[in-house]
Structure 1
Amino acid sequence: MKESEKTVARIGMVSYLNTAPIHEKWKSTVQTDRWQLVEAPPATLNKKLAAGEIDMGFVSSYEYGRHSEKYKILSGLSISANGPVGSVFLFSHVPMSQLDKAPVLFSAQSETSVSLVKIILEEFQGVQPCYSTGDLQSPIDEKFKAVLAIGDDALRLAEKSTYLYEYDLADIWKHKTGLPFVFALCVVRDEFCTGQPEMLAEIHRHLLKCRDEGKKDLEEICALAAQRIPMSKKKCYQYLSGIEYDLGEQKRKALETFFDFLIKRGDIDKKALPLKIYANLQ
């Protein structure tokens, strides 16, 4: 019996709108019960991957950096933006420069975005706010001068925002570094790499195919996904047109730059670099 016939791969994927081109294509094309899809928010998938409860999946870039000794990055796959991303915002009542010692609320759903906003506030702006983490589904306490929201929460908040300032974090990063920003990676546990190479290569090929077909069929994807926010199909198309899913040379350089900041800040170990890329598609 071949390894691919006796092993079930547990694959984590976030069901946010920004993953829809890959996610929707995966759901409509995977016809084997050997590939089990596990859907959860980013922070939950991070924990599941670290605990060995899933074998691979789209997790935050920060999660790879924190536990790089356990993982490899699947080549050619990311959730990233080369400029405005449209779904990772710091909503603020005052300019960023006035947030020193001010109360700021973070979404608990993405450690990568939390790390990014801290770099922007502390390293780029030179301010040190007072951070709290909470659930953005509940009414937001008026004491907070600014709120970090990501994913579908950010899209919904942007639709009804009363904040004077809306800072797109990927856009600020681009202006400061000249690079794209990589929010999430498709990461696989090392033991699955070595133990199930044939199945991994097959899954990798299919994910790349979903990536390419999802971008090609973006209008069809938007017709399926826009209603979950809800937002118009036109706005959905504009938003998803700005999301990128590759991991080319510039994206890898951007990831290394982000990790350099995190290493200098003491947030992750220097062993996160160099990046460990899995690219065996044979």
Structure 2
Amino acid sequence: MSVRLGRIGYLNVLPIYHPLETGILPMDCEVTSGPPAELNKLMDADKLDVSSCSSVEYARHADKYYLIPDIAIGSRGPVQSVLLLSRRPVEELDGRTILVSAQTHTSAALLRVLQAKLWNIKTVFTTGSATDVLGTGERPQAILCIGDEALNLRYHPDYPHRIDLGEAWRELTGLPFIFGVWIASRESWRQNREKVEEAARLLLAGKNWGTDNIGDVCVMASEESCLNYDEMCSYFDGLVYDLGPEEQEGMRAFYKSLVETGIIDEAPELVFLP
């Protein structure tokens, strides 16, 4: 059987999946694309074998998954595609409502951490599509948007205050922030170890191809985006695709913060595919 592979439907993973989806690297997988929150649900329901997923999904169900080594999606500062857009300075949002994208789990949790540990404010979250809400003429006090939507809305004239959550995390901790990881279902690995390990190797090969050919990826991506070539190169240059010692330290610091803010009960160990 083919491995059921989850793919985040955002621009930021294009360098990894482009060589797989175009046949540059032959792939025997059944690919399901969607936002992180949807892939989280599919993995939790055992409907995918290997997938990119939110860092929070691993934290909440670490006993069900193995981390795939050496591959992640994050930043060592500004990430550009995870943004808090506000009509007023962030310190003035205390007690107000923030519209949060329904597509994200990790970014919403990170925003809670930053509110508690960096800005000392408390807000109310409501869930919805920023693009849809803005299209009605409504203007929420603040919006947390991610992925391609964040890239499209980042210079919205009604939201002069723009907080990049990757940059804010770096300000708080000095560490990289890992928004997403690639995981394998432990049950799938037990049942079909060879195929799952082959999919993991393929993803790493895709990452290596993408980082080696990032200039070509920027050209392709800019042709179908609101970002021009230089902006696209700047975007990809700010992303982290590795899961080395410093990135793992950033994950552990995030999980510790989630415990301290009451979002999870216990910080998980980082357990990698055997």
* TM-score when normalising by structure 2: 0.94
* Among 47, 62, 67, the residue aligned to 2:56: 62
Give the distance between the partners of 1:122 and 1:161, measured in 2 at CA: 28
CA deviation after TM superposition for structure 1 residue 123, in Å = 2.4
Aligned residues: 271
1:3 maps to what in 2?
A: none
1:233 maps to what in 2?
A: 229
2:26 maps to what in 1?
A: 31
Give the distance between the partners of 2:237 and 2:8, measured in 1 at CA: 18
2:245 maps to what in 1?
A: 249
Give yes or no for the alignment of 1:110 onto 2:101: no
2:125 maps to what in 1?
A: 131
Segments of structure 1 that go 5 or more residues without pairing to the other structure are: 1-6
Give yes or no for the alignment of 1:219 onto 2:215: yes
1:187 maps to what in 2?
A: 183
* Among 264, 273, 277, the residue aligned to 2:272: 277
Give the distance between the partners of 1:142 and 1:111, measured in 2 at CA: 24
Give the distance between the partners of 1:174 and 1:180, measured in 2 at CA: 6
Give the distance between the partners of 1:177 and 1:161, measured in 2 at CA: 30
Segments of structure 2 that go 5 or more residues without pairing to the other structure are: none
Give the distance between the partners of 1:205 and 1:254, measured in 2 at CA: 24
Give CA deviations for 1:224-259 in whole Å, capped at 9, x if unaligned. Answer: 222333221221111011111110001111101111
The secondary structure found in structure 1 opposite 2:240 is: coil
- Larger deviation, residues 260-269 vs 116-125: 260-269
Q: Please tell me whether the aligned partners of residues 5 and 49 of structure 2 are also in contact (alpha carbons under 8 angstroms).
A: yes
Give the distance between the partners of 1:227 and 1:66, measured in 2 at CA: 38
Q: Please tell me whether the aligned partners of residues 80 and 235 of structure 2 are also in contact (alpha carbons under 8 angstroms).
A: yes
CA deviation after TM superposition for structure 1 residue 174, in Å = 0.5
CA deviation after TM superposition for structure 1 residue 14, in Å = 1.0
- Residue type of the alignment partner of 2:2: V
CA deviation after TM superposition for structure 1 residue 190, in Å = 0.6
* Among 254, 262, 268, the residue aligned to 1:266: 262
Q: Please tell me whether the aligned partners of residues 78 and 164 of structure 2 are also in contact (alpha carbons under 8 angstroms).
A: yes
CA deviation after TM superposition for structure 1 residue 204, in Å = 1.5
- Residue type of the alignment partner of 2:85: F
Give the distance between the partners of 2:224 and 2:58, measured in 1 at CA: 29
The secondary structure found in structure 2 opposite 1:139 is: helix
* Percent of aligned pairs with the same amino acid: 31
Give CA deviations for 1:202-223 in whole Å, capped at 9, x if unaligned. Answer: 2211111111110111121122
* TM-score when normalising by structure 1: 0.92
1:149 maps to what in 2?
A: 145
Which contiguous aligned blocks of 4+ residues in structure 1 show a shift greater than 6 angstroms? Answer: none
